[in-house]
Structure 1
């Protein structure tokens, strides 16, 4: 176990911050003191970007222990939460200066969800590998082009900078920090107490829609995209798709890349995965039937694709994301097809 017994953590709060981004890690860190019977603990202080009370995005209000304008203690770790309010705050020069100063001295500087924009404005994510909520990835890439974004990761550590996906990923991050500070057993005990995974399987692709690359309605490409979506079970090749689109395979690929940012083959594969996810979430169809309907090479092909792309197998995906009470009238519970 790390010989460090007490660790100071500063948590930024700004108008419109996501309350769970603060409350989740605070509860996880607080359990260390309880489970170690006071031998190990975190001292946590909230630091406001404005003076006075600060209202979260949910409407609940906190009164910060300090502000960025006050003298603060030396923080071992600084956490910036996310929330819609970050877009009114992230480029505040006072916050950027405060974060730059903390970066010089803190062992860890971290952001939850789109709190990463504040680190970006302070110049702290240039040439670093980072992640954020999947919905904010395009905006992050446009705003901070030097950041190396891993959009499917739940959390990423690059040197002393830690970043996470959205909201509950702050708990994943706090558990990783607890493991670094006080060992795996302590982190596992905290995870058990909170009834969460110490490391959850898979990435953000389990939650984010895979078909964000639809062509514009007036595009030449939209017709061929719709054909693929309507015929997922049909074996397709680049040549057959190009023939249907009345253009060369090279031109079809060029237009796909220009308008959608990916190849026809990758679009089709994404479409098949997305359709399979919907079947798993809303029906009791066995895997072999889902695979056939979605154009996969049998149940094993579906399993391999899910494991490779989503880092989770179809059975686990179904158990996690299945709509309560939903079922298909063609229900088949044969074990070999589950």
Structure 2
């Protein structure tokens, strides 16, 4: 296949790894490809003046928008910590809105999804972003279908990825699509990353929702659950702790926390189990007991549903030395 041009949009406050990760993937892929098949990567911005990344690093674009073509093979927008709360950048988003439809493939890395949202390019599409910002993306662009747990996602010509290092996963997937999984695997080995991560973003995020208002009956119930996580929690018992009828308690719990009592308890147990898997050498049976799962099989089922990996796989990935 002919040489592919990959353009990455940068901006003031960009996340440096959103840029460097994919660039390194495509550069390393060139080491395993014949010359005609090489990737050519270049950085685009409003102009060629140096910008400051969120970590303080300086970088400069190869081309400003006024000199850039608008029909790249791949056009990606890097994210940045400030983007979810930033106002629309008219110059950047207007250029993006005009250029993206002319590219063979276009999309975002991390919170770069907000740039695509402001450019009107997410509506009607399945998309993802960093787990911390997924709810805000869904609220800001209600016509988009936001998946909170995908590492990367492709919907037609639009690709989006989760947070920061997920840009590497996305770039590896594009290399595999272009040149096969063996080339992608060689690149992953060279960069000392996995070629395809198991599970979704949930395994990297705090799973509990924010606690209810301090001192409220619902907060009292939450505290009791966390202090006695190995116990059984019939709704009648929790309602008694809250001083409410079971029906009123269930309704009030959802109003204050946004989840059902059962959902809260299961999330709490997952978080306790995760901490034990990360920080102890307890057998899986013991982890299941101390975190309130009835047995290791039940814990495995819940982990697969919530995190996309088994407890053993989670421990292998995250256990501290």
Where do 4+ consecutive residues of structure 1 move more than 4 Å?
A: 87-90
Asked whether the 8 Å contact 1:89–1:118 carries over to 2, the reply is no
Of 287, 291, 304, which aligns to 1:290? 287
Distance 1:216 1:228 in 2: 16
Distance 1:31 1:38 in 2: 13
Q: CA deviation at 1:251?
A: 1.7
Structure 2 counterparts to residues 121-160 of structure 1, below 5 A: 121-160=118-157
Distance 2:83 2:55 in 1: 14
Note closer, same or farther for the CA distance 1:103–1:71 as it changes in structure 2 (3 Å cut): closer
Note closer, same or farther for the CA distance 1:299–1:25 as it changes in structure 2 (3 Å cut): same
Q: TM-score with structure 1 length normalisation? A: 0.90
Note closer, same or farther for the CA distance 1:284–1:298 as it changes in structure 2 (3 Å cut): same
Asked whether the 8 Å contact 1:30–1:42 carries over to 2, the reply is yes
What residue in structure 1 maps to residue 102 of structure 2? 105
Asked whether the 8 Å contact 2:273–2:288 carries over to 1, the reply is yes
- Answering whether residue 198 of structure 2 is matched by residue 164 of structure 1, we say no
Asked whether the 8 Å contact 1:90–1:118 carries over to 2, the reply is no
Note closer, same or farther for the CA distance 1:235–1:30 as it changes in structure 2 (3 Å cut): same
What residue in structure 2 maps to residue 234 of structure 1? 231
Distance 1:270 1:13 in 2: 37
Segments of structure 2 that go 5 or more residues without pairing to the other structure are none
SS at match of 2:75: strand
Q: TM-score with structure 2 length normalisation? A: 0.95
What residue in structure 2 maps to residue 269 of structure 1? 266
Distance 2:320 2:22 in 1: 28
SS at match of 1:104: helix
Structure 2 counterparts to residues 1-338 of structure 1, below 5 A: 4-72=1-69, 74-87=71-84, 91-324=88-321
Distance 1:250 1:39 in 2: 68
Q: CA deviation at 1:145?
A: 2.1
SS at match of 1:100: helix
Asked whether the 8 Å contact 2:84–2:133 carries over to 1, the reply is no
Q: CA deviation at 1:67?
A: 1.3
Q: Deviations over 1:261-303 (max 9, x none)?
A: 1100000000000000011111111111111111111122222
Q: Deviations over 1:35-84 (max 9, x none)?
A: 11324111111001344111211222112111123242521111111112
Q: CA deviation at 1:184?
A: 2.1
Asked whether the 8 Å contact 2:217–2:243 carries over to 1, the reply is no
SS at match of 1:9: strand
What residue in structure 2 maps to residue 333 of structure 1? none
Segments of structure 1 that go 5 or more residues without pairing to the other structure are 325-338
Distance 2:183 2:286 in 1: 44
Q: CA deviation at 1:319?
A: 2.1
Tell me the matched-pair count: 321
Aligned CA-pair RMSD = 1.7
